[in-house]
Each structure stands twice: as C-alpha cells, then as structure tokens.
Amino acid sequence: MLISCNSYGQKSDDYSSKIDGLIQTTNPRRFNGVIFITKDGKTKYSKASGYSDIKKNLLLQRTIFAFSPNNKQITAVLVLKEVEKRNIDLYKSIKTYLPDLKQTWADSVGNFKNHRL
C-alpha cells in the first residue's frame, strides 16, 4: 500500500514538474504570466512567473492584467470550441451561463462575442 501511495505522489509531482518545465523554458523566451488550473472545483496548479511591468516587479498570483486586443481573439476561440462541443449555445442568453451577472441586459452569447450589446 505504501508503494501505491508513493506512486500517486510521483504522478502528482510529475504533473507539476512538467508544467514547471514548460514555464522555465527560454525558447524563444521565458514565460511571463500566471497559470491557474482547476478541475472539479479544486486547484490543481497555480503559479506566477516573470514580471508584471517593465520595471521588473515580480508577478504575483493575484496580479491584475490589463486587457489587450489579443484577449478578444483568444476568448472567441475558446467560446467557439465550447460551441463545437455543444457546451455553449450562441443564441442563448449570457445569463444562462453567468446567472449571477448583475447587469439587466440579457443578450445572447453571440452578441456579446461580437460586441453587439
């Protein structure tokens, strides 16, 4: 039984070490950002790496990032991947997926994605 416990621990460490290895790579340059992975409501991995600004202040897991134009494309791709999996319907109200949203509008996911609010 002790062997199986050690084996489980090694798998868990291997998961973290693989991600750590990807973060530490410097080809073409070192990763700069925060990685937060959850599964079934439990944190599986959380780490910050790099700098939060050009003054080289270290990133923290609670660092707030400014939005950039690239975020829109990344979000659109992620939403459309969920549409392909039939987890999201572009014609349903955004409140279907975010019921705690306080805004009074109830536009569709598609309108939100295309900035047609």
pLDDT in tens, 67-86: 666 777 888 888 899 999 99
Mean local confidence (pLDDT), 56-76? 74
Do the beta carbons of residue 109 and residue 90 sit within 8 Å?
Answer: yes
How many angstroms separate the CA atoms of 28 and 44, rounded?
A: 27
**Residues of the domain holding 23:** 1-65
Residue 107 and residue 88 in one domain: yes
Q: Which of helix, strand or coil describes residue 80?
A: helix
Do 73 and 61 reside in the same domain of the chain? no
Task: State the pLDDT at residue 19.
Answer: 81
Residue 10 banded pLDDT, cuts 50, 70, 90: very low
Three-class DSSP category at 33: strand
More confident residue, 10 or 90: 90
Work out how many domains the chain is built from and give that number: 2
**CB 112 within 8 Å of CB 105:** no
Residues 56 and 43 in one domain: yes
Per-residue pLDDT, averaged over 90-98, amounts to 85
110 vs 104, higher pLDDT: 110
Mean pLDDT of 34-50: 82
CA dist 82 → 34, 52, 77, 86 (Å): 23, 30, 9, 6
Q: Which residue has the tokens 């079934």?
A: 40
pTM exceeds 0.85 for this model:
no
Residue 84 has a pLDDT of: 95
Among 49, 65, 81, the domain-final residue is 65
Question: What pLDDT does residue 83 have?
Answer: 92
Distance between CA atoms of 24 and 61, rounded to whole angstroms? 17
Residues 83 and 36 in one domain: no
pLDDT over 70, % of the chain: 74
